[in-house]
């Protein structure tokens, strides 16, 4: 690799305009190859990770959000070389052993979706927020953690309620296996 290649963080490959990135995607070592100008969304979708969606191609709507080393980023403006040597997590990587995560289950119980197009991005930003904080979250923390996501169906309140419910109950859930709450009106009661 040349000094210029190292400066931008990736292997520019043998052919001009081509790039290669070795990264971990949802826990699996992966090598991605393709054009320098193609955003990460295309590479990830070709891996069958269809929760990575692209709408605006400008990084402003949040539907393409992935976690890059645990931080939410817009994959639609992220070049391939930026993935090299990094850990990538998509919404498909939230589940464990075929089971939805607590956050995913809470989104269902809180009905924090309508058409669901924006849901993967909301889930990943919410997961990053929950991973970065302990205990209950304030409304301001939730709003700040989810900013940059657009929902045409207007499910913002349900999304915020789901995130707050998980934050409020996560210590209890870790201790006794409590279930997600059934919705905003039942935030203190466990789901059946």
Strands of the 71-74 sheet, one edge to the other:
28-35, 18-25, 87-89, 65-68, 71-74
Question: Do 35-92 and 102-186 have matching folds?
Answer: no
CATH number for region 102-186: 1.10.150.120
* Model-wide pTM > 0.85: no
Q: In terms of pLDDT, which residue wins out, 183 or 29?
A: 29
pLDDT tens, 47-61?
Answer: 999 999 999 999 999
Are 181 and 187 a contacting pair, CB within 8 Å? yes
Mean per-residue pLDDT of the chain: 85
Using one digit for the tens of pLDDT, what is the confidence trace for 105-141? 999 999 999 999 999 999 999 999 999 998 889 999 9
pLDDT band at 186 (very low <50, low <70, confident <90, very high): very low
- pLDDT, one tens digit per residue, over 1-43 is 443 344 344 444 445 688 899 999 999 999 999 888 789 999 9
Structure confidence at residue 179 (pLDDT): 59
CATH classification code of 35-92: 3.10.20.30
Give the residue from 135, 131, 130, 159 showing the smallest Cα distance to 62.
159
71-75: long-range contacts (C-beta < 8 A, 24 or more apart)? 71/128, 72/124, 72/125, 72/128, 74/148, 75/39, 75/40, 75/41, 75/44
For the chain, the domains span 35-92, 102-186
């Amino acid at each position: 690799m040349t000094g210029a290649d190292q400066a931008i963080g990736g292997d520019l490959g043998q052919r001009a305009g081509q790039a290669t990135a070795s990264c971990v995607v949802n826990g699996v070592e992966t090598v991605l190859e393709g054009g320098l100008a193609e955003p990460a969304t295309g590479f990830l979708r070709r891996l069958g990770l269809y929760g990575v969606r692209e709408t605006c191609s400008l990084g402003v709507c949040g539907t393409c959000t992935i976690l890059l080393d645990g931080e939410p980023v817009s994959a639609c403006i992220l070049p391939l070389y930026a993935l090299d040597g990094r850990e990538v997590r998509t919404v498909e990587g939230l589940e464990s052993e075929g089971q939805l995560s607590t956050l995913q289950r809470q989104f269902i119980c809180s009905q924090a979706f309508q058409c669901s197009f924006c849901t993967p991005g909301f889930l990943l930003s919410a997961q990053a927020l929950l991973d970065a904080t302990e205990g209950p979250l304030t409304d301001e923390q939730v709003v700040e953690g989810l900013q940059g996501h657009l929902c045409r169906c207007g499910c913002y309140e349900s999304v915020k309620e789901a995130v707050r419910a998980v934050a409020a109950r996560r210590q209890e859930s870790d201790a006794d296996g409590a279930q997600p709450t059934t919705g905003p009106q039942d935030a203190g009661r466990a789901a059946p």
